[in-house]
């Protein structure tokens, strides 16, 4: 019965997550259509940096929700801690934003940054966290319903804007901000009532659980935040925000695949982590299939470019980014799935060590291509580095598991 339920939940969660990923992709298509490549590059740069900073400040709270039942944490104390944590996180970033405001006199740009900060926090962390609560404590169907409805609200806000207002970066950011407020005020209330939420406080049990695992999970996050900020900034400084827009298209494809993979992971993680014995063979077979499909799909880069040129003729040359983006997407999606297995067999610390080491390798490779390769292809080389690093992480973790290599006590 448990096997049947987990398979059903994985299918529901995966389909729902790909549906949400498709809606998010449409949002970006609308932005690509109505914004210049320069402004779209600026939009994605701001959102990407906020996502990484907020992920660092998340302190692996989402992972804690997934293993909360195993740690005997109560839903009420998790909910209260989640609200407290969300408030503290947004206050930290808001204060940093005020400090940054001293260095700019462009109020409109500052407003765009503030709007996108709220959107990034709600869209990629608050909604994601609430969805995990539903997944673990209530029902997969409810989790995907909430996740889908929130995505529909964001899409509706962006889709309807061109019919009533000027299609500027400021207006798009404002519409996403308003949608974020609606999501928090209307949809999130239900789970708080259902969980008996009363106070906003950080539970000592939750705090101790975060301390015990977040230091290892956060180490590669911090390292990745630094290297990705350097890479993205170098693309804009050495090339242009238009090139960063092309680079963002490839990253967008990767994010769609990752969202879908996380859909399978949400119900799979608690199940895998609760089992005593797990077989690695299914994960190997899935990986072979995924890479075969990815390599085949990457051959159609020129076809996708022709479609994009109908939307915006500034995206000439995007085919190579599409092709690399598809391979990167497969690599990221499979990495998400495989590392779930690795964490499930008790190798969380080893996963952290390997990921941190490969981020360092990524930094070295970035310096090499920056100083010794043609900078005209810098963004393309970064995509190749991301693919190499992602695949290397999986291979190293596979070797650690297969040959029982133990670098540190778990």
> Residue 266 has what pLDDT?
64
State the residue for tokens 């019919």.
163
Give the C-alpha separation, 157 to 347, whole Å.
Answer: 42
Give the C-alpha separation, 229 to 233, whole Å.
Answer: 6
> Residue 2 has what pLDDT?
47
Is there a contact between 31 and 172 (Cβ–Cβ < 8 Å)?
yes
Nearest Cα neighbor of 393 from 366, 356, 354 is: 354
| Angle subtended at Cα 190 by Cα 186 and Cα 193, rounded to the nearest 5 degrees | 130
> Residue 1 has what pLDDT?
35
Token pair belonging to 112: 């765009």
Write the pLDDT tens digit of every residue in 133-158: 777 777 778 778 888 889 999 999 99
Q: Could you please report the per-residue DSSP string of 296-318?
A: HHGGGHHHHHHHHHHH-TT-TTT
Share of the chain above pLDDT 70, in %: 87
> Residue 271 has what pLDDT?
67
Is there a contact between 383 and 352 (Cβ–Cβ < 8 Å)?
no
Write the pLDDT tens digit of every residue in 217-234: 787 888 888 888 888 888
Count of all residues that appear for the chain in the document: 410
Nearest Cα neighbor of 116 from 181, 180, 47 is: 47
> Residue 270 has what pLDDT?
63
Mean pLDDT by 10 residues, the chain (410 residues): 62 80 87 88 86 81 72 78 81 71 64 85 84 77 84 92 88 92 79 67 78 75 85 86 85 74 67 70 86 86 81 82 88 86 80 89 92 88 93 93 80
CB < 8 Å & 24+ apart, contacts of 395-398: 396/354, 396/357, 396/358, 397/338, 397/339, 397/342, 397/347, 397/350, 397/351, 397/354, 398/280, 398/338
């Amino acid at each position: 019965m448990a096997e049947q339920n987990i398979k059903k939940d994985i299918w529901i969660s995966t389909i729902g997550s790909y549906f949400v990923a498709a809606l998010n992709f449409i949002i970006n298509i609308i932005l690509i259509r109505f914004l210049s490549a320069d402004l779209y590059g600026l939009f994605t740069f701001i959102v990407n940096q906020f996502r990484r900073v907020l992920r660092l400040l998340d302190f692996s709270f989402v992972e804690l929700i997934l293993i909360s039942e195993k740690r005997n944490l109560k839903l009420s104390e998790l909910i209260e801690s989640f609200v407290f944590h969300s408030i503290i996180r947004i206050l930290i970033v808001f204060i940093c934003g005020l400090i940054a405001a001293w260095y700019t006199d462009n109020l409109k740009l500052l407003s765009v940054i503030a709007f996108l900060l709220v959107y990034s926090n709600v869209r990629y962390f608050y909604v994601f966290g609430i969805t995990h609560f539903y997944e673990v404590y209530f029902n997969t169907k409810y989790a995907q319903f909430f996740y889908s409805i929130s995505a529909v609200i964001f899409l509706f806000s962006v889709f309807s804007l061109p019919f009533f207002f000027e299609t500027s970066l400021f207006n798009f950011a404002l519409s996403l901000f308003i949608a974020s407020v609606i999501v928090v005020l209307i949809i999130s209330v239900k789970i708080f009532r259902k969980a008996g939420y009363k106070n906003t406080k950080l539970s000592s049990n939750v705090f101790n659980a975060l301390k015990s695992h977040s230091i290892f999970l956060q180490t590669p996050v911090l390292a990745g935040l630094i290297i990705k900020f350097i890479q993205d900034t170098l693309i804009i400084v050495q090339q242009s925000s238009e090139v960063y827009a092309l680079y963002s298209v490839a990253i967008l494809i990767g994010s769609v695949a990752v969202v879908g993979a996380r859909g399978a992971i949400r119900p799979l993680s608690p199940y895998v982590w609760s089992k005593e014995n797990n077989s690695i063979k299914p994960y190997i077979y899935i990986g072979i299939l995924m890479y075969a499909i990815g390599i085949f799909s990457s051959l159609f880069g020129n076809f996708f470019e022709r479609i994009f040129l109908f939307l915006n003729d500034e995206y000439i040359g995007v085919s190579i980014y599409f092709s690399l983006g598809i391979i990167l997407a497969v690599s990221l999606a499979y990495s998400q799935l495989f590392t779930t297995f690795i964490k499930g067999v008790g190798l969380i610390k080893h996963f952290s060590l390997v990921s941190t080491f490969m981020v360092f390798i990524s930094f070295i490779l970035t310096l090499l291509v920056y100083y010794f390769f043609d900078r005209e292809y810098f963004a393309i080389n970064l995509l190749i580095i991301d693919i190499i690093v992602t695949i290397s992480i999986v291979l190293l973790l596979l070797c650690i598991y297969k040959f029982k290599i133990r670098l540190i006590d778990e």
